[in-house]
Structures are given as structure tokens and as C-alpha cells.
Structure 1
């Protein structure tokens, strides 16, 4: 059957017109979608670029110890820190007292690696590899050889001492290096010195979450109940001498 050329042209023209209408409708929908999406896009501020090379401190971190010196630290009573430098680590000089940073800190991300002595010599419980990381010199994350070593759980490694039991025991054997990654929010006090907001801490032990944004109830006491006994500002990070040759290395902090 022969179809007139005019009819073919009109049919083709109609199809082209319908296609144009469809394209226009699609374009309108796309423009509307892009506009709606743009309403929830935030372009400022642009986060600063931080390099994070594997095995090294981030570029915006304050390096507190890299094995070269104890310059960032002092003895708890003031003066030079008296712990031993051994290779890329520093080790508690038993009986010399703890050490603290020369700089004060509030909210931080704190990373460090620690190692309990390999020689156990029949010691158990709190006598094995005991030390501690004190935030603002008051709030302790326990350091202890908790590998196959029974003790009270709120005093084992990665506990908020006498306050929060870790979710799991991620300890490695004595003599092996372990890591803490600590996210800490300092307490706030109002103008009258009363507590406005308690401290909070999150801890990863060897990369495993063991404290999940737990509330610090006050100073971590060996005897007695915790208490925010006084208002305070930023303060040093303190490492404890608890009569054990615990070693530390690769310590850095990011102020939040």
C-alpha cells in the first residue's frame, strides 16, 4: 500500500514534537531535582586538608614523643623527666615518679603505644605492668598487663579506673606493643565553679572499641568515690610510675 509522502512527513513531525515535549519535561524534572538537592548542600566551611601517612602522626598533631627526646615532658614535681630512653621508646624509671606534658590540654584525640614488661616473675593482678594515662592529670585510663591476668575488671587494662569496665579485653601478651586511641571531651564548669557538663571518653585498645563515649564521674580514685571536687581548666597529660618498667612510644595528640 502506498502512503502519501505528506502523511509520512506529518507523522514524523508529530513524533519529533512529542519527543521534544518529553525531553523538555525530563529537563524540567532534572532541574527541579538539582534545585531541591542544592537546598541541602553546604559548601562552607571547607575542611582543612590533613595528611595521615600510615604509621606516622597526622600532619596537624602535636608530637609528644617520637623516640628522640623527652623535651615535651617533665617530672611530676617539675624539672626534667627522668625516665629512660631506649631506642624509640621511653621506659618508666621505677621510683622516679610519673611524668607530665609541659603543655596543657582539654579536648583531645590522644594516641600512644605501650608495652608491659615481658618478665612476669610470678606477679599477678595489679602488680603486672601497672601504669596509667591520666587526662588532665585527673582521669585515668588504666595501663596494665591484662593478658591472662585476673584482677577486678574496673581496674584492668583500658578501664576508666574504678568507673567503667572495658567492653572486651583486647590485651596482647606481655612484651608486645599495644595501642590506645583516646577521644576525650573535658568537663565544663559554670562561672560559679559548679559542674556544667562531665567529661566523656571513647577508647580503642589495639583498634578495638572498649569504651564508647562513657561519662567520667570525677577523679579516678583508688579509695573512695569519684567526684568533681574542684573546677579546673586545661591541664597536662600524665603518665604514671606504678613501680613497673612499662614502656611508651609514638605518642601524639590532636587538639579538638
Structure 2
């Protein structure tokens, strides 16, 4: 991982790693999780507001776990004495090693505090929902509709990726109300130590470039997630 340290000393990423390591040395797992929230909150805000700042239908694209993380090559490594040479990131996430089948273990994500990443986009819906969902409002408090509100949760990245219900989820976040149970949970712990972020690109253990995240902050949070994985057992292996 030496290429990380070829960045200039004033790099925000290097400064973040310095603070991350202090939290890890103190075994402050909850602090690391809060740090991920701190890093990703501006991205969440940008995607919430963008449709209000752009001409109709020209808002940012939705964030998708399958594409926004930006892995372009196979993730090649050994796991449980088996070498995998032709699995993509998407295939790993949906594999038996990473896809959590026991729904009793699924977390209840709090829209008031957890990182859930909707991207409102529809010109009519962004006006219909804002101001109308919440306590004592026309549509009442936010309630999850499993047929509409689709979220994929990644641990230990601590990110809820929204695949449906963007506009009402946005309003739940704004009012700080409501919870969501993910449609799927991907425990990507087996992948965390096989990939690292060098400040610009994803690299594997052989130092090969294997992609680039849509936002560098996703790479930053991968490195925070590495410390989380080292300090706590996955809650999804029960």
C-alpha cells in the first residue's frame, strides 16, 4: 500500500488516515463508524438537493453500489483455500460468501442518522413530496413500503444504497423520521483486505489498478471500513 503515501503531505486523504489510525489504536469502533457518516454526509446532501438546482431531468445520476464504487476488473484472491480468478465485485457481493441470507440479522437503518443515499430526480415528485411527509403533515410520518423503498446495505462500509423510493426517502431524511430495513445486505468483509484505495484508484494486492470510485470519499471510507473489520466481528455471521 506504499502508493498511498506518495500523495502530498497536505492531502485530505492522508490527514484522514492519520485520524482514522488514532481511532483504531484507541479501539474506537463507533468513532470510526461516525467518521464514515461525517465523510459521506456532504455527498448525501449534494444528491438530495441537486434536482432542485438543475433544469428538469438534468439532476445527477442515482448512486448504485454496482457502479458507483467503480470496480472494473476481476477481484482475484484466495478465500477458504479456493482461488477465485474470474469474479467481479458484483458477483462477489451476491455470492454466498457475502450475501446475507438470514433476514433476522438485517439492521433497521435510521433515516435520521445512518448513511442512506437517495437521489431525487423527478420534477413533479420533488415538489409533491417535500413538505408533505412528516408528523402532522398531509401524508403522515414516513413509513417503509417494501414494494417501493429498496435499499441495499453494505457492511462494513455502513452505506445504504437506494434502488427505489428516492423521493419519499429524501423527505424522511430531511425530517429525521423513519426507519428502513434493507432489501439485501452484503457483508463485504472478505473483500476489504484484498483491495485498497491509493487516493485516486482502487488497487489489488499486486498493485494493479482495478477501477476508480465515482467519489474519492467512497475510497476513503473503504480504508475506514478496513479498520472497523479489524476491530469487530461481523454482526452478520451469526
TM-score relative to the length of structure 1? 0.24
Larger Rg: 1
Larger % of strand: which? 1
